[in-house]
Structure 1
Amino acid sequence: MSIKQHPFSLNLYITIISVVVFLTTLWGVYSHFSPVPFWDMWDGCLGFFLKASKGDRSIWFAQHNEHRILLSRLLFWLDLKYFKGVGVFLVCINILIQLGTAFVFVKVVSKRVKSDVYKTALYALIFCLLFSWVQNDNFIWGFQSQFLFVYMFALLSFYYLGEYSNKKKKYHLALALFFACCSTYSMANGLLTFPLLILQALILRNSKLSIAAIVFTAIAISIIYFQNYNKPAGHSSIVESIVQHPFFVLRFMCAYLGSPFHPVLKSIHIATVAGGIFIFGAGACGYLIIKKRLLDSVNVTMCIFLLFILGTAFATATGRIKFGIYAATAGRYMTPALMGWVTLILLSFLNRASLPQFIFKCAKFALICMPALLLTRQVKAFEDFSETAFNRKVAVLGVAHHQYDKTYFDRVYPHHSRIVPTLNRSIDQRLSVFASDWIKYNFDMISESSIQPDPCMGNIEATDPFQSGDSIAYRIRGWVWDPKTRTVPEVIILADEENNTVGYGISGEPRKEITKTVAGNPVNTGWVAYLLKSNVKSPISAYALTDSGLLRIPGVPVTFNDTFKVTSISEWDGEKPSKYEIISNEWKKEALPPQNELKDVQKLFGSWVEGDAFIGKIELIINASDDAKNLIYATGPDSKLQDIEFFDMEGKSLSRFNLPNSKEGYTKLSLQWNTDQNIKIVISDNGNSWGQWSALLIP
């Protein structure tokens, strides 16, 4: 007997998948945790807390884009006030909210499935879809509580109004109104809750007094919500979207509702078709339930929640179509889509005796296939997060020491200038991650006695300049491993030859080649340190801080040549590059990947020769007599192993570093040297992975 025919087999099958999904997602949440604030958390959490702490009461109700996230702000305040602000509390709350939503689903349908042979499978489906890893952004990102709150509160509101229609208990009506208010002040789509609550009350033939109470509360809440409301910039107009792009709005809606299939099947078209099937199925179920007058409180509650999901998809489509169809498949949008699928499948099973068998068979097919498809994505919960976690820590390590390193900080917030006051006050008050032990080293000197006689394993590999505000700063990179304790020391200290502390860093970057070749197979051995003082005396050595003292990291100490320096790294302003003489060239003219957006491609040499795998270099000489000495270059998305080295005419190396990443067009590298000698420059593409290429503009 097949699984389709045997309820016990189906119940067991869905339950096993559900348990695996739930447990692997919990592991994923744990292993993907980072204490570093991410994107909206900088202004939405830290910025809010700083203003609220100064007595700004209006900030509690202030807009966040189009939303008023009052309840989430309460959580942000609690996290920063009582839980160190590192996000553990917020991530735990995210899981609890989703658990709450799952139990509300169970509560809504429990009376109808008491003796149903598929009861276990239906309950398991709820937990399976609601905890699928495809929506992991809403679990691991501490800022996302409002995104989860709005659906839980809306469903609670609809549930309690259904209970009120059955039992006529006034507290049920009060709870329905309360949770509708909570939904409204979770996210903007919560504004749909009250209109749908009125519709639900009319369908369930509630008393005129109860309907009047809902209408009055809805009007009052809406007036408060839209007081001093400003339309967010950058969002499409609902009317314009409908009038000018009606079919794209529909396509966006379909992709949104079918988005859980996109990461699994890797096709936007399949996701769009799945969303179309969802809309058709929801419409068919709703029509047949009304036509056959199956309007009990459970069916009406579920149908109203389906309308809430559809309304959310419509509102998102009209406001976001300018970002393109793939914006509909963002991970955070998969939560409402999955809740919609759960609701539709539950409705079909609960009414299978009254609905056409075709609908029930389709729902049963979805019940069998969706968990299996989503299960394949759970392997992503085991992906190594250490590189992302390390990059985020480096980002805040830099700003904590007033070094704005765009290469790293853009990974946690792309508009640094907007939050400079928030950053400075957070650092001064040691809020959130800035209170962590690894963020500071408070000794100006290291003692000779603390330096252990035997060094650890490792290397000082590169010194990279980067633009920090109006000046050039330096990051130093390498790897470290203590074979005696078989550990990777976390803290890196930079010191000059007089043992003055001149820099600070942390380890934790994955270095697979080190893991493979070094005895003991150490992991995450890479480190990055920032030079925190200007005018330091070379040479500069690196030390690993351990419980037993400081271990010298092998490698050539960092030196700076007084005759040569990088003066700025900036976006190209159209200035002509310095004239140079090419003495050796393995690159080719116009050798760039297809669909690149660089201008003047006919005037450049590129290293994308028959693909990213090409390895080669270009050697040139810049004349010392040129007034302006600069190079105009571009890199691919991954600038690792794109190196530049400077030599005097006797072959002595003056400086060597990775080309700073140039994601948004050309970058101008301005140079200065105090000598009448020409300078030889070698730019090497040593990377053979995707996105590893460089280009140099011809003067």
Structure 2
Amino acid sequence: MSIDVVEVKPSLQTERLWRWLAIGSLGLIVFGAKILFIRYFGSAVPYWDQWDAEADILYKAYLNSNLSWSALFAPHNEHRILLTRLLSLLLFELDGGWDPILQMMVNAGLHVVAIVLIVLALQRILGPGQLVSLVAFSAVLFLLPIGWENLLAGFQSQFYLLLIFTILALSGLAVAPAFGARWWISVAYAIAAFFSMASGALIGAAALGIVVLQMLLRVRLGRKEYAGAAVLLVMSMVMIAFVPNVAGHDGLKAHSIGELIRALLACLDYPRSGSFAGILTNLPLLAYAYYVLKTRPPRTSPHWIVLSIIVWWFGQILSLSYGRAVAPTSSRYLDIIIVALPVNFAILLFAARTVSIDRQHGLFVATAAWLVLILPGLVLNTASSGFPSVFEKAAQSSEQQASVVEYIRTGSMAVLQNKPFLAIPYPSPDRLASLLSDPTIRMALPRLIQPTDVSDSAMLDRTLLKGRFRAGLERVKAVVLSFASLMLGLGLAMAFMTTFHKSHRRT
């Protein structure tokens, strides 16, 4: 007795429904996991740069009605974080005050948006049913606390804004005709990325590299395209020229070719820290670049978008290796470094549907070997560094909160001085005391540490919305924090549903 196997072909609408169900499961899994980390390990006490960049420069000036546009565009280290400042002001108004926990939650949402955009860009080169595999890999990757420094800091939205505007910009510039509506919108996205982080200046350069390749391969021609390339060149040069140079950060940079190469190898090597075998994990990127250049797909092909992401990513880690050669794989930079992992995996999935049948066994072995290189490294890093660092950060945050609250209560400098490193949330006790003693800043402090003698209504009177959305936003925040595990569980259930659907498409 034999059973015939036939493939059931669903309607286009049904297929789209399952595709968005898979994407939704990824978003819920990652967002739920991030909110759980914030709930258990996040702190409402501002940390490090937040005291100067937010408390003093932003909120104090805003409440005193002397915040200028020049201050919003002013450099913060090497970056011009206009969008982060505007987002901080928006949340300050909506919440009727300063809430680092709310900032973390919004940042978690921004990261999920960036992850979904990356997956959507990659799924365009995949075959039917392969999206589930990419979603499963991405869910495992991004629910881990790899970039925990960004996750547990309210002031790190710039990393996620950079990723969002990068994918949006490259998705247009790599395929759209020059000077069309989509092209101009993509240029605006690239400018927005520059006002998120300094490395946003490299988006135009990455797009220009793809445009030049397309011209050399004669898939993008015409005077208008040459003029568009010239605009991208000028835009990139202007952006790079306006990246500030911080003399105090010279010690963080690479001072020789050897230092640059070591830092670059560390980025390429992740997560196989210290193992040169880890560099093999990026071989799919090279093979894919060769494939695209050899096959010369038309300008509108999604392959150019994926190749532009690869070019941009390499420019990012090269810039990072030069500017932060001392510790290029610090947790805060890993959110950018790990973008290459789902791209590599998507390329392996793409290869699986394009190679001949007699080569599929070899490709299956290569994919298994790639996963063996990646997954144990991710687990080891999370167990040996990720979770211990998160626990340490939570303990430090508790000590910092106690120190700040005690100083606000007593005004005694002894509470802040002669403390172990990171026992207070700012490197200088004198500067922290000065900020905590400022009447306007005391008014703007998060409610958890706000002095009892401060009039909340007096602060709200200086805002535009007067705190009218505070109660509703507090309820929303409480619900999201309370039901984080439910979101994670719902995402997992949806993921199992899509996997079950894929496995039973053949009956």
TM-score clears 0.5? yes
Q: CA deviation at 1:294?
A: 4.9
Inter-CA distance 306–35: structure 2 relative to 1 (3 Å threshold):
same
Matched, 1:389 2:400: no
Residue 519 of structure 1: aligned partner: none
C-alpha contact (below 8 Å) 2:289/2:307 kept by paired residues:
yes
- Hey, what's the Cα distance between the residues in 1 that align with 2:294 and 2:367? 20
C-alpha contact (below 8 Å) 1:135/1:332 kept by paired residues:
yes
C-alpha contact (below 8 Å) 1:173/1:210 kept by paired residues:
no
SS in 1 for 2:176: helix
Residue 4 of structure 2: aligned partner: none
Residue among 241, 246, 249 paired with 1:234: 249
1:211-610 to 2 correspondence within 5 Å?
Answer: 212-213=227-228, 215-216=230-231, 219-220=234-235, 222-223=237-238, 226=241, 229-235=244-250, 241=255, 244=256, 246-261=257-272, 268-270=273-275, 273-274=277-278, 276-294=279-297, 297-321=301-325, 323=326, 327-354=327-354, 361-367=365-371, 370=374, 374=378, 377=382, 380=387, 383=391, 387-400=395-408, 401-404=410-413, 405-406=416-417, 407=419, 410-418=423-431, 421-425=434-438, 429-433=442-446, 435-436=447-448, 439-440=451-452
Report the AA paired with residue 289 of structure 1: V
C-alpha contact (below 8 Å) 2:443/2:450 kept by paired residues:
no
- Hey, what's the Cα distance between the residues in 2 that align with 1:372 and 1:22? 23
Residue among 61, 65, 88 paired with 2:77: 65
Report the AA paired with residue 88 of structure 2: F
SS in 1 for 2:249: coil
Matched, 1:186 2:190: no
C-alpha contact (below 8 Å) 1:129/1:339 kept by paired residues:
no
1:70-149 to 2 correspondence within 5 Å?
Answer: 70-83=82-95, 84-113=97-126, 115=128, 117-149=129-161
Matched, 1:45 2:60: no
Superposed CA deviations along residues 113-144 of structure 1, whole A, max 9, x for unmatched, are 351x4320112323332332121222221111
- Hey, what's the Cα distance between the residues in 1 that align with 2:228 and 2:148? 38
Inter-CA distance 220–390: structure 2 relative to 1 (3 Å threshold):
same
Q: CA deviation at 1:26?
A: 2.9
Inter-CA distance 280–403: structure 2 relative to 1 (3 Å threshold):
farther
Report the AA paired with residue 303 of structure 1: L
C-alpha contact (below 8 Å) 2:81/2:158 kept by paired residues:
yes
Of structures 1 and 2, the one with the larger relative CO (CA 8 A, separation 6+) is: 2
Report the AA paired with residue 269 of structure 1: G
C-alpha contact (below 8 Å) 1:90/1:143 kept by paired residues:
yes
C-alpha contact (below 8 Å) 1:21/1:131 kept by paired residues:
yes
Inter-CA distance 295–359: structure 2 relative to 1 (3 Å threshold):
farther
Superposed CA deviations along residues 620-655 of structure 1, whole A, max 9, x for unmatched, are xxxxxxxxxxxxxxxxxxxxxxxxxxxxxxxxxxxx
Residue 575 of structure 1: aligned partner: none
C-alpha contact (below 8 Å) 1:17/1:375 kept by paired residues:
no
Percent identical among aligned pairs is: 18
- Hey, what's the Cα distance between the residues in 2 that align with 1:231 and 1:130? 32
- Hey, what's the Cα distance between the residues in 1 that align with 2:263 and 2:449? 46
- Structure 1 residue runs without a partner (length 5+): 1-10, 262-267, 443-699
Superposed CA deviations along residues 164-219 of structure 1, whole A, max 9, x for unmatched, are 25xx8933212211111111111111111001112223344445425534643663
Q: CA deviation at 1:331?
A: 0.9
- Structure 2 residue runs without a partner (length 5+): 1-18, 455-507
Inter-CA distance 40–289: structure 2 relative to 1 (3 Å threshold):
same
Inter-CA distance 228–130: structure 2 relative to 1 (3 Å threshold):
closer
Superposed CA deviations along residues 552-588 of structure 1, whole A, max 9, x for unmatched, are xxxxxxxxxxxxxxxxxxxxxxxxxxxxxxxxxxxxx
Residue 159 of structure 1: aligned partner: 171
- Hey, what's the Cα distance between the residues in 1 that align with 2:328 and 2:363? 27
Inter-CA distance 112–279: structure 2 relative to 1 (3 Å threshold):
closer
Q: CA deviation at 1:229?
A: 3.8
Residue 481 of structure 2: aligned partner: none
Name the one with the larger helix percent. 2
- Hey, what's the Cα distance between the residues in 2 that align with 1:386 and 1:335? 20
Q: RMSD in angstroms over aligned alpha carbons?
A: 3.7
Residue 36 of structure 1: aligned partner: 45
C-alpha contact (below 8 Å) 1:150/1:187 kept by paired residues:
yes
- Hey, what's the Cα distance between the residues in 2 that align with 1:360 and 1:298? 24
Q: CA deviation at 1:54?
A: 1.9
Inter-CA distance 135–220: structure 2 relative to 1 (3 Å threshold):
closer
- Hey, what's the Cα distance between the residues in 2 that align with 1:89 and 1:237? 31
Q: CA deviation at 1:304?
A: 1.6
Inter-CA distance 291–209: structure 2 relative to 1 (3 Å threshold):
same
Q: CA deviation at 1:163?
A: 5.0
SS in 2 for 1:143: coil
Deviates more, 1:67-76 or 1:117-126: 117-126
- Hey, what's the Cα distance between the residues in 2 that align with 1:126 and 1:67? 29
Max radius of gyration: which structure? 1
- Hey, what's the Cα distance between the residues in 2 that align with 1:228 and 1:370? 34
C-alpha contact (below 8 Å) 1:65/1:232 kept by paired residues:
no
Inter-CA distance 45–348: structure 2 relative to 1 (3 Å threshold):
same
Q: CA deviation at 1:298?
A: 1.9
- Hey, what's the Cα distance between the residues in 2 that align with 1:150 and 1:136? 17
C-alpha contact (below 8 Å) 2:436/2:442 kept by paired residues:
no
Inter-CA distance 63–45: structure 2 relative to 1 (3 Å threshold):
same
Deviates more, 1:178-187 or 1:168-177: 168-177
- Hey, what's the Cα distance between the residues in 1 that align with 2:185 and 2:51? 34
- Hey, what's the Cα distance between the residues in 1 that align with 2:25 and 2:36? 17
C-alpha contact (below 8 Å) 2:43/2:394 kept by paired residues:
no
Q: CA deviation at 1:293?
A: 3.1
* TM-score between the two structures when normalised by the length of structure 2: 0.70
SS in 1 for 2:80: coil
Q: CA deviation at 1:154?
A: 0.9
Q: CA deviation at 1:363?
A: 3.6
Report the AA paired with residue 247 of structure 1: G
Q: CA deviation at 1:258?
A: 3.3
Q: CA deviation at 1:337?
A: 1.8
Superposed CA deviations along residues 580-629 of structure 1, whole A, max 9, x for unmatched, are xxxxxxxxxxxxxxxxxxxxxxxxxxxxxxxxxxxxxxxxxxxxxxxxxx
Inter-CA distance 35–66: structure 2 relative to 1 (3 Å threshold):
same
Q: CA deviation at 1:71?
A: 0.6
Superposed CA deviations along residues 236-258 of structure 1, whole A, max 9, x for unmatched, are 597x73xx3x2332221121233
- Hey, what's the Cα distance between the residues in 1 that align with 2:435 and 2:223? 50
